[in-house]
Amino acid sequence: MSSTDSHLETLQWPGCAVEGYLVMIDQTMLPGEIKQIECRDVETVWEAIKMLRVRGAPAIGIAAAYGYVIGLQSADPHDDEAYFATASQTRDHLAASRPTAVNLFWALDRMHQLCLSLRGELTPSEITARMLDEARAIHLEDREMCRAIGKFGAELLGDEVQGVLTHCNAGGLATAEYGTALSVFFTAQDQGRSFHVFVDETRPLLQGARLTAWELLQRGIDATLICDSMAAQVMKEGKIQAVVTGADRIAANGDAANKIGTYSVAVLARAHGIPFYIAAPSSTFDLSLQSGDEIPIEERQAEEITHGFGRQTAPHGIQVYNPAFDVTPADLIEAIITEKGIIQPVHRNNIQHVLQVT
């Protein structure tokens, strides 16, 4: 969320007690209604991730970390075997909620490895308390990463950039605070810069129209909503000098998965000589994958296209293909903006150098 809406954080754990619970904004209700959900069991967290009540790779990871703690709350603290069995079951169940955003698996693995490492050193009750501290650390780290991404990214938006385009939502709703792609805009605004943001509505679930447009209006940034199919015309008219999006998983060679339609925007940007930037934290990189060909692409229900938001817009019986993500090849990406610096040009060696990977 923006600094003006800090009382409405995307994800919260009220109080400090380990007996607490996760509270999140139900993003499926925006922009018409701001509704918060209380997650007091693992199944509610799983459903929230699956049904996009919480979405955006960093926010999914944070939610999963807190969900892991909620799972441990139900474990028997007097039976080590049962306690750690519950821990493993919680990790596996939450990991099955969505396949593409790597932050989900990164956060769950981090939580589970720490949990296992404490076996024999602390009691189960003490481990649960320690795991809440770790979930809070993941939450805080993401907030700090977002601010750093914004600082580095704002440097790429020179005075000649009067119009930018973004796709889907990579703002405070998708992260712990400022966002990734939107952090670039928010930081530039903090620096006194003025520019205009064109927002792809992002079909079929309209994350750009429902979420990004709402966040930009909350911040008082000049913004115009366009249909996805209008991007080429707006570029041709010279209204856009840069494109900035987020990412859900980035392979070792720089190929990046993001919301469906991002690849099309990158191709259009290249055709019009416009730099295409991706803003993402280091936790979004999956260096175990050599290229984007190995990134699993989630396919969602046909009804999201045939009955979008409850209204039938296609005939019964029509076949539907609904991939939720696509992969933009590294050679179409001008730079990747991370909390550790800017990766430019985008290739394997530069990625390893900036991320400080050996």
Catalytic residues: 248
Hey, what amino acid is at 261?
A: G
| DSSP state string for 186-214 | HHHHHTT---EEEEE--TTTTHIIIIIHH
How many residues in the chain? Answer: 358
> Can you state the angle between helices 102-117 and 124-154, rounded to 10 degrees?
140
Residue 343: both structure tokens together: 């990766």
Q: How, if at all, do strands 341-343 and 335-338 pair?
A: antiparallel
- Nearest Cα to 94, choosing from 84, 104, 103? 104
Residue 235: both structure tokens together: 């570029």
Q: Which residues partner with 244 through β-bridges?
A: 277
H or E element, residue 345: none
Hey, what amino acid is at 230?
A: M
172 in helix, strand or coil? helix
Q: Residue written as tokens 């990046």?
A: 256
